[in-house]
């Protein structure tokens, strides 16, 4: 910007990162140059806050005289937030009824990056074995292999104090490395290892590539059965964007899948993409954020939060496993990353690919309506066949008493063991047992902070609440009647199934795969390596193993309880059950050996189970579409949840009643409640809920804004609005 030709405005409007204030005007002191998107430091009372300069006309504000405005303090040394990102922040805040400042915070997601580039000192092991070895030093050496980070970060990784590591620097065990936080990442090479695509793949890729080259907004639904090679298709579109020197964002639903994806990506492009997720160290976040804004990070693969990164020149967005519920954020700004990704693509004028073997009904409806272009891959890649799906009727084929695996599944597991093939048992429940009782008095172990049972985790010897993280060691006596050794486990979790497996096949090597055991990208990578290398016979896993993994020797999938997802009365229960079981079934028979799936159920007649068994996806979607139409549910109608909570039960109830008492009376909006939420106590807060169901055409957000905007609540009350909710608890 040339300050001599265009004199800087003498005042500017800022979005400040302060909930409640949000928009403030400031004076621009002489010599300071700012424009829309500039990240600035501004005074607020005696404090300093961070703000983003915004276009005047787009944010409402009070027009105080210039003389009354306080001057900005400084401009931070980062590129201005680009206009498409500013539009995305506005849209997200407006659509999800979230404070603008809270959304802007998601874009400014590395405070270190805002301070500019520069050199920092990181440390790594020297490999020397000099000096006195203590247990702490030995542990640090074990845990820090291959790591390089600041002393603070290494101390956290190793679980030792900073002082121990400083001592190791003095002893020559660790060495300092000067690094530049603005160093670019290795460039992926679009021509590194170009695969041979089959005709279907090549044709689908051509459509996306044309949109990448045309630099136009184009939403694609890449709809292909599990194992059909969707990744290879969108990889060619990524190559096209790279050839134009543009950036690419790939969203994945789980961190645990990242490592597997990085490996495959590196094989195709010769360099790994830049990862973005909550497990990054602060120094890694700083570098990634800065390089994204400078254009030096070409391909970013990340969890939903990557959606708000300040890309300098985005050319393509991919949402893999786009149907996944994990894309919905359920606290803070309650957004759905799949939907926000489409909006970002629109603001950036680039194509977006939603890839899935089991698309969300909403996405299919958009394709039907012609708003998304649907690209179909009907066949498995390399001639592999879809697995056979068989039903095990638990009413006639009962497991032995105290067991959960029915005789037909036991038989199939034994056959695989004899042939040296791998099996996967799926049960979406972590831990050993979901409920623990006292055998003496029937006392149920519940969480003191939530209306939920404590789940026994036998491997780590604790009773844990999966909602708030509260945990206790299993008590030696019943807290109610005092009887010793009284605990009875009720129902199965994956650990219990693994125990049962050990009884069925004592020699089998069994691994439990859940978010408890695969809780970091490194552990997930170890798991993949172990299974691929043939070091495992049976995997017992939760939804974490239903997607993304490709194990050629895995030929049997057993679903322990196909009915489980149908309980609870959730709007999407049938769809989610279908997706989850279709996805986990897709793990079987991906190599040259055919796969088989056994579904254990008590309701073989249920539409979703029958559709799975017959492999008739279209029939399932057609039936589900009709059910949604009847219920006025998405995509035919819209839902919003209002969740009122307080640590004081009466206060929460009164606030919920106050909201209910001022409900608007509108022809196209139905309001249900207030009622205690199914999870009526969560993390120490009592919860009440109202549900709003509106016609597709109604302006739901305006209705909610007008309604809730008039009410005032006591300090301890929180009122959260969830637009397009997924969870109804």
DSSP codes of every residue in 60-128: ------GGGSPBP-EE-SSPPPPHHHHHHHHHHHHHTT--HHHHHHHHS--HHHHT---EEEEEEE---
Q: Which is nearer to Zn ion, 206 or 480 (CB)?
A: 480
Q: Which stretch binds Zn ion (CB under 5 A): 108-116, 437-445, 512-520, 693-701?
A: 437-445
| Residues of span 39-98 touching Zn ion by CB under 5 A | none
Site of tokens 């979406």:
428
In angstroms, give the least distance from the CB of 729 to Zn ion.
Answer: 13
Dihedral, CA atoms, 572, 425, 460, 528, nearest 10 degrees?
-100
**Token pair for residue 602?**
């008590």
Q: How far is CA 146 from CA 212, 284, 350, in A?
A: 37, 15, 38
Dist CA 256 CA 541 (whole Å) = 13
| Residues of span 498-517 touching Zn ion by CB under 5 A | none
In angstroms, give the least distance from the CB of 481 to Zn ion.
Answer: 3
In angstroms, give the least distance from the CB of 686 to Zn ion.
Answer: 13
In angstroms, give the least distance from the CB of 238 to Zn ion.
Answer: 42
Q: Does 477 bind Zn ion (CB under 5 A)?
A: no
Q: Does 480 bind Zn ion (CB under 5 A)?
A: yes
Which one of residues 450, 497, 512, 584 is an interface residue with Zn ion (CB under 5 A)?
450
Which one of residues 233, 478, 677, 692 is an interface residue with Zn ion (CB under 5 A)?
478
Stretch (H or E) spanning 141: helix 135-143
Q: Does 463 bind Zn ion (CB under 5 A)?
A: no
Q: Which stretch binds Zn ion (CB under 5 A): 283-291, 384-392, 469-477, 521-529?
A: 469-477
Q: Does 443 bind Zn ion (CB under 5 A)?
A: yes
Cβ atoms of 29 and 61 within 8 Å: the answer is no
Q: Which stretch binds Zn ion (CB under 5 A): 3-11, 414-422, 443-451, 721-729?
A: 443-451
**Token pair for residue 623?**
């039936």
Q: Does 704 bind Zn ion (CB under 5 A)?
A: no
Q: Which stretch binds Zn ion (CB under 5 A): 44-52, 363-371, 395-403, 448-456?
A: 448-456
DSSP codes of every residue in 687-723: EEEEEEEEETTS-HHHHHHHHHHT----TT-EEEEEE
Q: Does 729 bind Zn ion (CB under 5 A)?
A: no
Q: Does 647 bind Zn ion (CB under 5 A)?
A: no
Q: Does 468 bind Zn ion (CB under 5 A)?
A: yes
In angstroms, give the least distance from the CB of 441 to Zn ion.
Answer: 3
Which one of residues 481, 490, 622, 670 is an interface residue with Zn ion (CB under 5 A)?
481
State the DSSP code for 418. H
Q: Which is nearer to Zn ion, 176 or 488 (CB)?
A: 488
Sequence-ordered list of residues with C-beta below 8 angstroms from that of 626, at least 6 positions apart, any chain: none
# chain residues binding Zn ion, by CB under 5 A: 14
Which sign, positive or negative, has the C-alpha torsion 637, 643, 644, 648? Answer: positive
Backbone angles phi, psi at 388, to 5 degrees: -80, 135
In angstroms, give the least distance from the CB of 516 to Zn ion.
Answer: 16
Q: Which stretch binds Zn ion (CB under 5 A): 317-325, 436-444, 510-518, 649-657?
A: 436-444
Q: Which is nearer to Zn ion, 473 or 709 (CB)?
A: 473
In angstroms, give the least distance from the CB of 459 to Zn ion.
Answer: 20
Which one of residues 14, 40, 239, 465 is an interface residue with Zn ion (CB under 5 A)?
465
Dist CA 368 CA 572 (whole Å) = 20
**Token pair for residue 320?**
């893999």
In angstroms, give the least distance from the CB of 46 to Zn ion.
Answer: 39
Which one of residues 165, 364, 447, 656 is an interface residue with Zn ion (CB under 5 A)?
447
CB count in 10 Å sphere of residue 2: 6
For strands 637-646 and 685-695, give the pairing: antiparallel
**Token pair for residue 355?**
């890839």
Cβ atoms of 392 and 406 within 8 Å: the answer is yes
In angstroms, give the least distance from the CB of 433 to Zn ion.
Answer: 17
Cβ atoms of 659 and 719 within 8 Å: the answer is yes
CB count in 10 Å sphere of residue 495: 26
Reference 634, options 567, 694, 720, 705; nearest CA is 694
Which one of residues 384, 438, 463, 487 is an interface residue with Zn ion (CB under 5 A)?
438
Q: Which is nearer to Zn ion, 279 or 441 (CB)?
A: 441
Q: Does 467 bind Zn ion (CB under 5 A)?
A: yes
State the DSSP code for 433. B
Q: Does 701 bind Zn ion (CB under 5 A)?
A: no
For strands 23-27 and 74-75, give the pairing: unpaired
In angstroms, give the least distance from the CB of 571 to Zn ion.
Answer: 24
Reference 671, options 704, 713, 709; nearest CA is 704
- Across-strand partners of 457? 462
Q: Does 217 bind Zn ion (CB under 5 A)?
A: no
Q: Which stretch binds Zn ion (CB under 5 A): 256-264, 370-378, 424-432, 468-476?
A: 468-476
Backbone angles phi, psi at 696, to 5 degrees: -50, -40
Q: Which is nearer to Zn ion, 438 or 691 (CB)?
A: 438
Which sign, positive or negative, has the C-alpha torsion 333, 336, 339, 344? Answer: positive
Q: Which is nearer to Zn ion, 427 or 486 (CB)?
A: 486
Q: Which is nearer to Zn ion, 467 or 695 (CB)?
A: 467
Q: Which stretch binds Zn ion (CB under 5 A): 127-135, 185-193, 476-484, 584-592?
A: 476-484
Backbone angles phi, psi at 208, to 5 degrees: -70, -40
**Token pair for residue 11?**
């005042």
Q: Which stretch binds Zn ion (CB under 5 A): 184-192, 222-230, 458-466, 520-528?
A: 458-466
State the DSSP code for 481. T
Q: Which is nearer to Zn ion, 56 or 649 (CB)?
A: 649
Site mask for Zn ion (CB under 5 A), range 533-572, x = bound: ----------------------------------------
| Residues of span 249-308 touching Zn ion by CB under 5 A | none
Q: Which stretch binds Zn ion (CB under 5 A): 42-50, 80-88, 431-439, 454-462?
A: 431-439
In angstroms, give the least distance from the CB of 409 to Zn ion.
Answer: 33
Which residues lie near Zn ion (CB under 5 A)? 438, 440-441, 443, 447, 449-450, 465, 467-468, 470, 478, 480-481
């Amino acid at each position: 910007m040339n300050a001599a030709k265009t004199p800087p405005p003498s005042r500017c409007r800022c979005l400040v990162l302060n909930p409640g204030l949000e928009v403030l005007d400031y004076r621009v002191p002489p010599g300071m140059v700012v424009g829309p998107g500039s990240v600035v430091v501004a005074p607020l009372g005696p404090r300093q806050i961070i703000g983003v300069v915004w276009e005047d006309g787009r944010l409402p504000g009070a027009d105080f005289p210039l003389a009354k405005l306080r001057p900005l303090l400084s401009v931070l040394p980062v590129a201005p937030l680009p206009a498409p990102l500013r539009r995305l922040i506005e849209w997200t805040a407006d659509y999800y009824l979230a404070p603008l400042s809270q959304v802007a915070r998601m874009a400014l997601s590395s405070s270190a990056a805002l301070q500019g580039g520069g050199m920092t000192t990181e440390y790594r092991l020297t490999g020397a074995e000099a000096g006195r070895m203590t247990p702490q030093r030995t542990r640090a050496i074990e845990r820090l292999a291959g790591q390089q980070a600041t002393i603070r970060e290494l101390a956290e990784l190793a679980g030792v104090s900073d002082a121990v590591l400083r001592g190791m620097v003095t002893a020559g065990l660790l060495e300092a490395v000067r690094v530049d936080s603005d160093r670019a990442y290795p460039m992926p090479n679009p021509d590194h290892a170009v695969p041979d695509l089959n005709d279907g793949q090549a044709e689908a890729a051509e459509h996306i590539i044309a949109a990448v080259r045309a630099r136009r907004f184009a939403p694609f639904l890449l709809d292909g059965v599990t194992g059909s090679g969707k990744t290879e298709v969108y990889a060619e579109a990524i190559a096209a964007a790279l050839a134009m020197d543009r950036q690419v964002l790939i969203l994945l639903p789980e961190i645990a899948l990242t490592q597997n994806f990085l490996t495959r990506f590196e094989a195709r492009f010769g360099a790994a993409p830049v990862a973005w997720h909550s497990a990054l160290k602060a120094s890694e976040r700083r570098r990634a954020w800065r390089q994204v804004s400078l254009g030096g990070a070409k391909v970013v693969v990340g969890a939903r939060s990557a959606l708000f990164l300040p890309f300098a020149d985005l050319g393509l967005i991919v949402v893999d496993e786009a149907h996944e519920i994990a894309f919905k954020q359920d606290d803070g700004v309650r957004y759905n990353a799949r939907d926000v990704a489409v909006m970002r693509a629109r603001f950036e004028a680039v194509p977006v690919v939603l890839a899935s073997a089991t698309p969300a009904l909403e996405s299919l409806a958009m394709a039907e309506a012609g708003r998304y272009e649907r690209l179909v891959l009907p066949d498995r890649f390399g001639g592999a066949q879809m697995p056979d799906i068989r039903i095990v009727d638990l009413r006639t084929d009962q497991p032995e008493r105290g067991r959960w695996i029915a005789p037909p599944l036991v038989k199939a597991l034994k056959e695989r063991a004899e042939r040296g093939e791998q099996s996967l048992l799926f049960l979406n429940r972590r831990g050993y047992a979901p409920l623990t009782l006292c055998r003496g008095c029937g006392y149920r172990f519940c969480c003191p902070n939530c209306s939920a049972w404590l789940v026994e985790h036998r491997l780590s010897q604790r009773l844990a609440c999966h909602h708030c993280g509260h945990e206790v060691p299993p008590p030696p006596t019943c807290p109610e009647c005092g009887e010793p050794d009284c605990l009875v486990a009720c129902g199965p979790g994956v650990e219990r199934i693994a125990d049962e497996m050990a009884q069925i096949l004592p020699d089998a090597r069994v691994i439990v795969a859940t978010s408890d055991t695969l809780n970091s990208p490194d552990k997930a990578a170890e798991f993949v390596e172990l299974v691929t290398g043939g070091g495992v016979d049976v995997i017992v896993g939760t939804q974490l193993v239903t997607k993304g993994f490709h194990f050629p020797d895995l030929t049997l999938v057993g679903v322990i309880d196909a009915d489980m997802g149908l309980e609870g009365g959730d709007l999407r229960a049938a769809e989610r059950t279908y997706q989850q079981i279709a996805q986990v079934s897709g793990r079987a028979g991906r190599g040259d050996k055919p796969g088989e799936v056994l579904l254990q159920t008590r309701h073989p007649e249920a539409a979703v189970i029958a559709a799975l068994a017959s492999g008739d996806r279209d029939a399932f979607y057609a039936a589900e579409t009709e059910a949604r139409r009847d219920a006025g549910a998405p995509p035919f109608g819209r839902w919003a949840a209002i969740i009122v909570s307080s640590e004081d039960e009466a206060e929460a109830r009164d606030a919920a009643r106050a909201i209910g008492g001022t409900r608007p009376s509108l022809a196209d909006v139905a309001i249900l409640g207030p009622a205690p939420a199914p999870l009526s106590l969560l993390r120490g807060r009592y919860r009440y809920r109202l549900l709003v169901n509106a016609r597709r055409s109604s302006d739901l957000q305006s209705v909610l804004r007008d309604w809730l905007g008039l009410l005032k609540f006591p300090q301890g009350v929180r009122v959260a609005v969830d637009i397009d909710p997924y969870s109804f608890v």
